[in-house]
Amino acid sequence: AFEVLVVGGGPAGAAAAIYAARKGIRTGVAAERFGGQVLDTMDIENFISVPHTEGPKLASALEQHVKDYEVDVMNLQKAVGLVPAKTPGGLHEIKLENGANLKARTLILSTGARWRNVNVPGEAEYKNKGVAYCPHCDGPLFKGKRVAVIGGGNSGVEAAIDLAGIVAHVTLIEFDSQLRADAVLQRKLASLPNVTIIKSAMTTEIHGDGSKVNGLTYKDRTSDTAHRVDLEGVFVQIGLVPNTEWLKDSGVALSPRGEIEVDYRGETSIPGVFAAGDATVTPYKQIIIAMGEGAKASLSAFDYLIRLPAS
Ligand code: FAD
């Protein structure tokens, strides 16, 4: 059995594994796709002390750093269930899709999240070429340019306010006849001179010249007419979904949005089970935050282990 078993191999999981291995304890990582969201990212300019890197490069550095230690890395392994220890200090069990079971004294859940796609022509083709999902990450790349934000909930309106301070113009596109963001955010948005709000609009296509985005078409749902907006970037803000479906029947407490509830030490509702990164309720989903939370959860797991009675 493992002393620490990390589920998920993104920035949070990699940091947790390294911190555990450096304590000289038996550490494993099971990941569906080692590297996580970083593999889908191009330019990264906010990983402090590294002014610029690229996703695949950071992902391979994460893997190399983990492999510098004695960590049992089980890549391409999807967890489908968690059975908590029956007795305090006992072994937790992770069920894998391939039928295998892994046992561990502590778990660190770091299965991350995924951005919901609009699923229109051009979205996949122009991902990282004008189609973006994270204003904190990619906003500055559109300095002085025109962008659209798709989605008028809190995250869409926050993104539009944030981007309006950086880019030349923001068009906010909401499917519904009204925005769903908090009133205070809506008032702030309405006060900005370089923002246009379009409601009852369904995005139907993202256009490009083959190498980058140059426009977007939406259908006005009240008149059924199509309109084109010329722009250089599209931020899709229709939800970040935590990869926690597999925890539904485990007893690990999840928030109404499906995020894993953790306390300030990264411990979940089950003693000995910790969590970190985008899969948790911790706000602001960023690489540097996921890594910090992974390190914290790992140190908390170690703290838990050294307090168990000697067996
Ligand atoms: P993830 O990176 O999502 O990793 C989750 C891991 O868990 C993966 O290994 C996955 O395969 C695995 N997993 C999922 N489900 C299971 C399962 N059931 N069983 C086993 N394993 C599972 N952040 C920045 O700070 N700067 C940026 O510039 C930036 N740009 C971004 C650009 C894009 C296009 C995207 C999508 C995200 C970007 N982010 C950026 C956000 C950043 O990538 C995330 O905040 C970060 O990767 C979260 O790390 P994580 O370890 O919590 O989760």
Ligand 1 pocket: which of 19, 29, 54, 111 to mutate (most atoms within 8 A of CB): 111
pLDDT at 129: 96
Cβ 218 under 6 angstroms from ligand 1:
no
- In tens, the pLDDT along 185-214 reads 999 999 999 999 999 999 999 999 999 999
pLDDT recorded at residue 311: 67
Q: Is 8 in the pocket of ligand 1 (CB under 6 A)?
A: yes
Q: What is the pLDDT of residues 99-156, one digit of tens each?
A: 999 999 999 999 999 999 999 999 999 999 999 999 999 999 999 999 999 999 999 9
Ligand 1 atom, smallest distance to 279 CA: 52
3-state helix, strand, coil split of the chain in percent (to 5) is: 25, 30, 40
The finding on whether 280 has its CB within 6 A of some atom of ligand 1 is no
Tell me, in angstroms, the distance from the centre of ligand 1 to residue 9's CA: 8
Nearest protein CA to atom 31 of ligand 1, as residue: 41
Distance from Cα 220 to the centre of ligand 1, integer Å? 34
Residue 287 alpha carbon, nearest atom of ligand 1 = 25
pLDDT of residue 310: 85
Mean pLDDT, all residues of the chain: 97
Contacts 24+ apart (CB under 8 A), 90-96: 91/1, 92/5, 92/270, 92/272, 92/273, 94/5, 94/7, 94/30, 96/30
Looking at the whole model, is its pTM more than 0.90? Answer: yes
What pLDDT score does 101 carry? 98
Distance 38 CA to ligand 1 centre (A): 6
Q: What is the mean pLDDT of each run of 10 residues along the chain (311 residues)?
A: 98 98 98 96 94 96 98 98 97 98 98 97 97 95 98 97 98 97 97 98 98 98 98 97 97 98 98 98 97 98 96 67
Q: DSSP states of 93-125 as a string?
A: EEEETTS-EEEEEEEEE---EEEPP---TTTTT
